[in-house]
Structure 1
Amino acid sequence: MEMAAASSSATESGLTERRGIPAASFVEDVQSYLNQSGLDVSSALAFLQERLQQYRVVEMKLLAQQRDLQAKIPDIEKCLDIVATLQAKKGSGEALIADFEVSEGIYSRARIEESDSVCLWLGANVMLEYSCEQATILLKKNLENAKASLEVLVADLQFLRDQVTITQVTIARVYNWDVHQRKFRQPSPKES
């Protein structure tokens, strides 16, 4: 994103970006903003609208990542529960009866005898066999990483929403300032 024209106030507050998302600057004095940026009103409004659109694109990407993580976390937790159940049944001589999904909406029943290992999907059509202990360690680490990533995404989304609000307010301020300036530049009906 090219953000040169609106960065002066952002540096004053000390925050210029968050993980590649540029900070928007609140414009108190529109005339000074236009003078410092070297833009006329229509160019400034076009720049701000473009910035707003860039924020929206980033927001869509972050929301998609958030949805993926929110779906992934329960899956990891289920896997942890299954591995724990297998470990609990170990040594009891009792088989575990489980229903598993073969295809979307199609299930089959399986009888799982005592096992020292489980197979985990790693992604990209890769499955590896792990001991139950190794699987538990890996799944707990993946769960921690997913939760930490989700926290960062939530913070990024909040930062982004703040930048969208600041940019929308700046657009309104520039537009209103321009309307006000045009009103004073037009001759009054008494002068005509």
Structure 2
Amino acid sequence: MASSSLSTTERRGIPGAQFVEDVETYLTQSGLDVNSALSFLQERLQQYKLVEMKFLAQQRDLQAKIPDIEKCLDVVATLQAKKGTAEALVADFEVSEGIYSRACIEAADSVCPALLQKNFNNAKASLEVLVADLQFLRDQVTITQEAQNASKR
């Protein structure tokens, strides 16, 4: 068996891990001894873990943001539906965490949901890309851990 001759790929700046089929060939080709290779692989795992923590934080932020934008879009749709009627809209909104206020919106001459819709679409697209990035990153962690385990044998 020989180490994989496929070049490692990268995704959005995340370096791809090289699949190692034969440790001796890998060490010879990389010019590393076992300890240096293990040190390199451990450092790479730490880098992957840091990026994963960053991505997970971004994912949490987006998952919290999307429902807020949807609520705003619902309010705008309600305002558009009441446009031109004399009926006022009473809405409760959060001023600060746990502090709410009530507003009475009597006339909404212009309501434009385009920016909200754009933000919603961008947030959904960003979340999809982030999920794919996380999957790629997890694959690289698995490959690196396997290479590390093979080098220890």
TM-score after normalising by structure 2: 0.93
How many Å separate the matches in 2 of 1:16 and 1:101? 46
Other-structure match for 2:68: 75
* Residues 137-191 of structure 1 deviation map (CA, whole Å, 9 limit, x = unaligned): 1111111111111110000000000000000011000001xxxxxxxxxxxxxxx
Residue type matched to 2:129 in 1? Answer: V
In 1, are the aligned partners of 2:92 and 2:102 still within 8 Å (CA)? yes
Alignment pair present for 1:39 and 2:11 = no
Alignment pair present for 1:154 and 2:128 = no
2:48 to 49, 55, 74: 55
The runs of at least 4 aligned residues of structure 1 exceeding 2 Å deviation read: none
Identity, % of aligned pairs?
A: 76
Alignment pair present for 1:132 and 2:111 = yes
In 1, are the aligned partners of 2:55 and 2:134 still within 8 Å (CA)? yes
Shift of residue 45, structure 1, vs aligned partner: 0.3
How many Å separate the matches in 1 of 2:48 and 2:33? 22
Residue type matched to 1:52 in 2? Answer: L
TM-score after normalising by structure 1: 0.75
Q: CA RMSD in A?
A: 1.4
Other-structure match for 2:18: 25
| SS class of match (2:29) | helix
Other-structure match for 2:142: 165
How many Å separate the matches in 1 of 2:65 and 2:95? 19
| RCO higher in structure (CA 8 A, sep ≥6) | 2
| SS class of match (1:91) | coil
Aligned residues: 151
Alignment pair present for 1:111 and 2:97 = no
Residue type matched to 2:63 in 1? Answer: Q
Q: As a proportion of its length, which structure holds more strand?
A: 1
Which structure's CA Rg is the greater one?
A: 1
Residue type matched to 2:139 in 1? Answer: D
In 1, are the aligned partners of 2:69 and 2:120 still within 8 Å (CA)? yes
Other-structure match for 2:59: 66
1:96 to 73, 89, 92: 89
- Give the gaps of 5 or more residues in structure 1: 1-7, 117-130, 177-192
Other-structure match for 1:179: none
